[in-house]
Structure 1
Amino acid sequence: MKDYIVRATAADSQIRAFAATTAEMTETARAYHNTSPVATAALGRLLTAGAMMGSMMKNESDVLTLQVRGDGPLGGITVTADSSAHVKGYVNSPDVMLPAKNGKLDVGGAVGIGLLQVIKDMGLKEPYVGQTILVSGEIAEDLTYYFANSEQVPSSVGLGVLMNHDNTVRCAGGFIIQLMPFAKEETISRLEENLKKVTSVTELLDRGYSPEQLLGELLGDLGLEITDTVPTQFYCDCSKERVEKAVASIGRKELEEMIGDGEDIEVKCHFCGAAYNYTIEELKEIIKRSR
């Protein structure tokens, strides 16, 4: 099944909701970066959230970046998404292995304590930057805390990644449910009761639940209305020209030293691992163009 996001409202627009299935996206990331199971789970959760949050943005050129910086062995996770729900990301230390915790992958232990940063570049002079502490390192709880504290939007975020025994991705997905400012107490109480019943997103995904069924479980008794469906995928838009900008930013002195070494250089994209080769002549041209 292709990955996609559903957007919905409930309780006469007192609630807005998003749900996604993202197994292909997460498996693509795992294959690109050769991530360990716990690194795949952490990256897959943040990619899923990034895709849904990207789809919340209005303009075609808007870009969202999520950065998790913890003191755990993963080191950090970076994900970027656009308003078309194209998403890409990587972890700093993809081969981290940790023992299971309560029979589950220990994402919180791999991430550790630190900060979550959300950067929204919406074409204004300065991008919007929101930052909160990591409350658990489990990603979903951290984003729930971010929405409430940085954007003042009471939200519930659920994210899950389940692995096969051969370390490929079995299923992945999640939801974001948000209360509008005019939500009534009765609506809030009913939603809270429904959320208590869903203890594991992964369990529902493994039972074959679609994004529509996920939201049905949470909002079915609150007048759920699916408004639209958006395809989502892991997509890296790197190119030799784009990577050249990164090479140029190294600085003239360093580039001249590389040229002096007399050997071509190879630069790899952080997001997808694609390798780009630059000859001595090309490096000389980069210096010329950056004058």
Structure 2
Amino acid sequence: MKDYIVRATAANHQIRAFAVTSRELVEQARIYHNTSPIMTAALGRLLTGGAMMGVMMKGEQDLLTLQIKCGGPAKGMTVTADSRGNVKGYPHVPDVMLPPNEKGKLDVGGALGPGILSVIKDMGLRDPYVGQVALQTSEIAEDLTYYFATSEQVPSAVGLGVLMNKDNTVKQAGGFIVQLMPFTEEAVVAALEEKVASVTSVTDLLEQGLSPETLLERILGEFGLEITDKIPAAYHCNCSRDRVTKAIVSIGVNDIQEMIEDNEPIEVNCQFCDKHYIFTPEDLKMLLDTQW
């Protein structure tokens, strides 16, 4: 099944919801970064949440960035998503290894430890919107739930899951975000809270063969679910030699001149897809000639 996101409403537009299957994009991230199982799960959850949050934005050029800086061995992660279902990310430390947690699961919370989640929305205004919250459990879904409640004042339920095969490839990945609108009736709130509490594991539901549509049907079917949109989702890095060239130009004439005098090629690696870009001293001289 190709990765995709569905957008939906329920209870006469009192509820809005998103769900995604993200196995392929999480597996692509694992391949790019050669992550350990814990870090595949951690980055995969953040990529999955980021993909859904990205399509919440309206503008074609809008960009969302989720940054975690933390005190555990993982140190942190960064994920960037756009409004068209494209997402990319990288871990600061890709190979964290820890024993299972008390539930026998991958210890994502232990890998991250205490820290801060920053949500940055660049919507073409002079300054981006930045919201920050302390990590609550460092399991990511609960942390995003807390972010929505405190920074955006939107009561939300977030479920995220990544299940690994024995060979450490990704078996299942996906999630949902269900949000209440400000005018939601109390009876709907109470019924929804009860329904969401019954969802114990996203990966269990994916293992049962549920799609994003049937996942939302399981949670919101009794509320009059209406699927309104289906958006392809993918791990997409938009790095290019041209973008890297602009980054080199931005460091200034003196630093580029020093690189030329070293008479050694320089290598620039993309953090998101590990692509390597080589610039010879001749390339750098040409840069100086064309830019200044």
Aligned to 2:12: 12
Report the CA distance between 1:232 and its aligned residue. 0.4
Which 5+ residue runs of structure 1 have no aligned equivalent? none
Deviations 1:200-224 (A, max 9, x none): 1111112211111111111111111
Matched residue, 1:205 = 206
1:160-212 deviations in Å (ceiling 9; x for gaps):
00000000000000000000000010000000010111111111112211111
Shifted more, 240-249 versus 101-110: the winner is 240-249
Quote the offset at 1:253 in angstroms: 3.4
Matches within 5 A, 1:130-209: 130-209=131-210
Residue 49 (1) aligns with residue 66 (2): no
The secondary structure found in structure 1 opposite 2:267 is strand
Q: Distance in 1 between matches of 2:148 and 2:288?
A: 44
- Matches of 1:193 and 1:289, distance apart in 2: 64
Secondary structure, in 3 states, of the residue corresponding to 1:135?
coil
User: 1:255 matched to which residue of 2?
Assistant: 256
Confirm whether residue 75 of structure 1 aligns to residue 75 of structure 2. Answer: yes
Q: 1 CA distance for matches of 2:288 and 2:54?
A: 36
Aligned residue pair count: 291
SS of residue in 2 equivalent to 1:204: helix
The 2-side partners of 1:74 and 1:224 are apart by 38
The corresponding residue for 1:21 is 21
Map 1:228-243 → 2, pairs under 5 A: 228-243=229-244
1:290 CA drift (Å): 5.1
Q: Which amino acid aligns with 2:274?
A: G
- CA drift at 1:288: 4.5
For residue 108 of structure 1, give the secondary structure of its aligned residue in structure 2.
Answer: helix
Shift in alpha-carbon separation, 1:228–1:266, aligned structure 2, 3 A: same
Shift of 1:22: 0.2
Distance 1:250 1:98 in 2: 39
In structure 1, C-alpha distance between the alignment counterparts of 2:97 and 2:252, rounded to whole Å: 37
> In the alignment, is residue 84 of structure 1 matched against residue 79 of structure 2?
no
* CA displacement at 1:289 relative to structure 2: 5.0
Letter in 1 for 2:257: E
Local SS of the residue matching 2:206: helix
Secondary structure of the structure 1 residue equivalent to 2:106: coil
> 1:261: how far off?
1.4
Equivalent residue number for residue 128 of structure 1:
129
Q: Which amino acid aligns with 1:76?
A: G
Distance 2:119 2:291 in 1: 31
Aligned counterparts of 1:76 and 1:290: Cα–Cα separation in 2: 36
- Unaligned ranges ≥5, structure 2: none
Identity of aligned residues (%): 64
C-alpha separation in 2, matches of 1:196 and 1:155: 12
- Tell me the C-alpha RMSD between the 2 structures: 1.1
1: distance between equivalents of 2:120 and 2:268? 25
Q: What is the distance in 1 between the residues matched to 2:240 and 2:84?
A: 19
Using the size of structure 2 for normalisation, the TM-score is: 0.97
**Cα distance in structure 2, aligned partners of 1:137 and 1:32:** 23
Deviations 1:71-91 (A, max 9, x none): 111111101011101000000
Cα distance between partner residues in 2 of 1:212 and 1:167: 27
